[in-house]
Amino acid sequence: MISLFRKYIATRLALRLAVSTGILTCFALAAAGPSAHAQVATRTQLSTGNNPGGILLLSARVADVEGGPVSEGSVSFETAKGSLGSVFVHDGSATLMLTNPPAWARSVTAVYHGDSAFAPSSASAAVSAAATSGVPGFTVTASPSSLSLKPGDFGTVNLTVTSQNGFSEAVNLSCSGLPPVSKCNFNPQVATPPANGSITSAMQITTTAPSGAMNREHGPFAPSGRTYAILIPGILALAGLGTLRRRNFGALRMLGIVMLLAAGTLGLSSCAARYAYLHYKPSPNYGTTAGNYTLVIAAYSSNGTAITQATSSDPNCAGAVCVALTVQ
- Tens digit of pLDDT for each residue in 165-196? 888 999 999 999 999 999 999 999 999 999 98
- Sort strands 154-164 and 137-143 into parallel, antiparallel or unpaired: antiparallel
Beta bridge partners of 326: 148, 292
- With a cut of 60, say whether residue 257 has pLDDT above it: yes
Percent of the chain at pLDDT above 70?
60
* The predicted structure's pLDDT at residue 79: 84
Alpha helices in 67-203 (DSSP H): none
pTM: 0.58
Peptide bond into 188 cis (omega under 30): yes
Cα 64-65-68 angle, rounded to 5 deg: 45
Query: pLDDT averaged over the chain?
Result: 75
* The predicted structure's pLDDT at residue 320: 81
- With a cut of 90, say whether residue 137 has pLDDT above it: no
* The predicted structure's pLDDT at residue 154: 93
Whole-angstrom distance, CA of residue 247 vs CA of residue 2: 91
* The predicted structure's pLDDT at residue 19: 40
Whole-angstrom distance, CA of residue 126 vs CA of residue 307: 31
- With a cut of 70, say whether residue 141 has pLDDT above it: yes
* The predicted structure's pLDDT at residue 179: 93
Percent of the chain at pLDDT above 90?
28
Greater confidence, 286 or 63? Answer: 63
* The predicted structure's pLDDT at residue 201: 96
- Which pairs count as long-range contacts for 229-235, CB under 8 Å and 24+ apart, including other chains? 229/266, 229/270, 229/271, 229/274, 232/266, 233/262, 233/263, 233/264, 233/266, 233/267, 233/270, 234/263
Greater confidence, 198 or 127? Answer: 198
CA dihedral 300, 303, 304, 308 (to 10 degrees): -30
Confidence of residue 26 (pLDDT cuts 50, 70, 90): very low
AA letter at 79: T
- With a cut of 70, say whether residue 218 has pLDDT above it: no
pLDDT, tens only, 83-117: 888 888 989 999 888 766 777 778 899 999 888 88
* 7-19 mean pLDDT: 48
Greater confidence, 296 or 243? Answer: 296
Whether 237 contacts 257, CB under 8 Å: no
> Which segment of 15-19, 224-228, 231-235, 297-301 scores lowest on mean pLDDT?
15-19
DSSP label at residue 319: S
